[in-house]
Structure 1
Amino acid sequence: MANQGKPEAGAPAPAHGRTVTLWDPVVRLFHWALVISFFAAWGLGKFGPDQMTLHFYAGYTIGALVVLRIIWGFVGPRPARFTSFVKGPSAILAYARHLRDRRPSNTLGHNPVGAIFVVGILLVLAVQVGTGLIGDPEDYVNAGPLADMVTIETSRSALGIHELLGNLAFFFVLFHIGAIAFYKRWKGEDLVTPMITGKKVIEEPAE
């Protein structure tokens, strides 16, 4: 009982939290609007109805959101800018070496490994929207609005790429959800709340 209330020898110093403003309203709106529109587009594409009008509207929304995020990646606040989180191989490997450490990363924005996901999903969605715009299943109903600007061979090829990228994007989403769970359960870092409130608690060792 003599050591009650005192840390054991060699134990890390207790941490205290510092709340910082992280994600601006545009990033948060983009994120949750993309979640809704992606699942709407994916579900409508997989399970119908046969007339894909609603699927197209969801796809247009995704396209607009991707354009917004790309623009915001150049002119938005620092955490939203690509220059703040897109790093080279050495920074990615350096971060990855500590990925299994059982402590929060306390990154003020996307970490270098997470940046691969951000850039990857934006590229996949951009190409998927593009192929949807020119795709033509020759059913006289569900042709993309720009399908008449390319050959029918190109339109049919675009449909195959569109479906493939839809599955790839869904895999990206599952990976993203898994990463969120890993950070929460293993590293004790909440990635969801900051995307809702815009604020993040950074743990710092007590002095």
Structure 2
Amino acid sequence: MKLRVWDLPTRLFHWLLVAAFVGLFITAQIGGGLMAWHARLGYTVLTLVLFRLIWGFVGGYWSRFSSFVSGPGSIVRYLKAPQQFAHKMGHNPLGSLSVLALLLLLLAQAATGLFANDDIAFTGPLNKFVSDATASLLTKYHKDVGIVALYVLIGLHVAAIAFYRWRKHQDLLGPMIRGDKEVEPRAVLPSKDGAAQRL
């Protein structure tokens, strides 16, 4: 049977974030006049992440942090016996850790961009409120530390999707597009995806 796991707002958040991140990568590589678009896309990412943080408390069941955020004990149990979590509808404990890390890194990346100054084509709108030393530190994080951490985490995210698809024969991508996941018939709570959640 099919079960609605990812509600529409969560799916829109995910794919808009992917598009914005690709745009950020391209504009950062080209630089120059495209840095104005880099800033706009940065504001978009910041807005999306703030939305997702709110949606983590009020969204559909499987989108709420309470349904998937796991403590250290659950992560250790998952690493020892992942088969026990094979039929979990939302994120497994390691996946939940990845989601939280991505959200925090994206928030930090967008926030530091507001203070950044590359001394060439871009100065963040909040740069004037911090000292040159602080701006330099935040710019270094934004250009060298934060972005590398994001690339690594996104690479692991994509690798995990591929691993689950080809080694475990579990499609993680399809449900994030359609919203529904094929499950064995049993009493599992579907995610809310009615008119109220789509507004």
After TM superposition, the score normalised by the length of structure 1 is 0.84
CA distance in 1, matches of 2:180, 2:108: 32
| Matching of residues 57-206 of structure 1 within 5 Å | 57-99=40-82, 105-139=86-120, 141-163=121-143, 164-203=145-184
Identity of aligned residues (%): 37
Which of the two has higher C-alpha Rg?
1
Matched-pair contact (CA < 8 Å) for 2:70–2:97? no
- What does residue 10 of structure 1 align with? none
Alignment of 1:1-40 (within 5 A): 18-40=1-23
Q: 3-state SS of the aligned residue for 1:79?
A: helix
Alpha-carbon separation, structure 1, partners of 2:138 and 2:72: 32
TM-aligned CA deviation for residue 61 of structure 1:
0.7
Q: Does the CA contact (< 8 Å) of 2:115 and 2:135 recur in 1?
A: yes
Aligned-partner residue type, residue 202 of structure 1: V
Question: Structure 1 residue 104: deviation in Å?
Answer: 8.4
Measured after TM superposition, the shift of residue 203 of structure 1 is 4.2
Equivalent residues of 2:75, 2:93 under 8 A apart: yes
The answer (yes or no) to whether the contact 1:85–1:115 under 8 Å persists in 2 is yes
**Structure 2 CA distance for aligned equivalents of residues 48 and 113 of structure 1:** 35
Q: CA deviation at 1:43?
A: 2.5
2-structure distance, mates of 1:173, 1:203: 30
Partner of 1:13: none
How many positions carry a matched residue from both structures? 184
SS in 2 for 1:200: strand
RMSD: 1.7
Q: Which has the higher helix share?
A: 2
Give the unaligned 5+ runs of structure 1.
1-17
So what's the TM-score if we normalise by structure 2? 0.87
